[in-house]
Amino acid sequence: MSTVICPGTFDPVTNGHLDVIFRAAQMYEKVIVGVAKDSSKKPFFSLEERISFIEDEISGKNNIEVESFDSLVVKFANKHQAKAIIKGLRAVSDFEHEFQMAQLNKRLAEKVETVFIMATPKYAYLSSSAVKEIASFGGDISGLVPKKVKSRLQARNGVGG
């Protein structure tokens, strides 16, 4: 069985993240979405919330699973015998960082590949940070994130729906 991982902090998950996850699920037998605990980033949403947001969206997708991890990405990949790490790319600036990470990961785990999936054009400039900023000023984030994420962001920012 070809298993891949799709790691990230997903704080919060966006429709761009989900697009990459669903496209990976069409190419591979099993996709494990790894939600990083990553306390160094001081997440806006708790780990449990971030996992719940993704679980809601993958409901009914039999070849996608979600779980947390707090190790190196390659250790998480090896734990699941994943053949690849899936990373979404939006722009050249993403590539610069992801290329470096892919090279380091290859050095740490020679048998684990990194596969880049280009963002669908409508999500090319979408990021969790941008969504949080737009929401904090009461901007409309419809179509950028799942409805549950939108509701929670609005509630946290004291903005009505």
Q: Rounded to an integer, what distance in angstroms lies between the CA atom of residue 67 and that of residue 148?
A: 19
List the structure tokens of 54: 């993704």
153, part of any domain: no
91, part of any domain: yes
Does position 61 have pLDDT exceeding 60, yes or no? yes
* Whole-number pLDDT of residue 159: 66
Lowest mean per-residue pLDDT among 65-79, 88-102, 146-160: 146-160
- Single out the catalytic residue among 50, 128, 132, 152: 128
109, part of any domain: yes
19, part of any domain: yes
Task: Clarify whether 50 is annotated catalytic.
Answer: no
Q: Which domain holds residue 117?
A: 3-123
26, part of any domain: yes
Mean pLDDT, rounded, for 1-23: 97
Percent of the chain surpassing pLDDT 70: 98
Q: How confident is the model at residue 42 (pLDDT cuts 50, 70, 90)?
A: confident
Does position 48 have pLDDT exceeding 70, yes or no? yes
Give the model confidence (pLDDT) of 114-159 as tens digits.
999 999 999 999 999 999 999 999 999 999 999 999 999 999 887 6
Task: Clarify whether 71 is annotated catalytic.
Answer: no
Percent of the chain surpassing pLDDT 90: 90
20, part of any domain: yes
* Whole-number pLDDT of residue 129: 94
38, part of any domain: yes
Higher-scoring residue by pLDDT: 58, 1:
58
- Single out the catalytic residue among 30, 50, 90, 132: 90
* Contact indicator for 128, 149 with CB cutoff of 8 Å: no
Mean pLDDT, rounded, for 86-92: 93
- Single out the catalytic residue among 41, 61, 97, 122: 41
* Whole-number pLDDT of residue 93: 82
152, part of any domain: no
Does position 31 have pLDDT exceeding 90, yes or no? yes
Q: Count of domains in the chain?
A: 1
Beta strands, E only, 80-124:
84-89, 113-118
CATH for 56: 3.40.50.620
Task: Clarify whether 147 is annotated catalytic.
Answer: no
- 57 to 53, 109, 116, 142, 153: CA distances (angstroms): 7, 30, 22, 15, 17
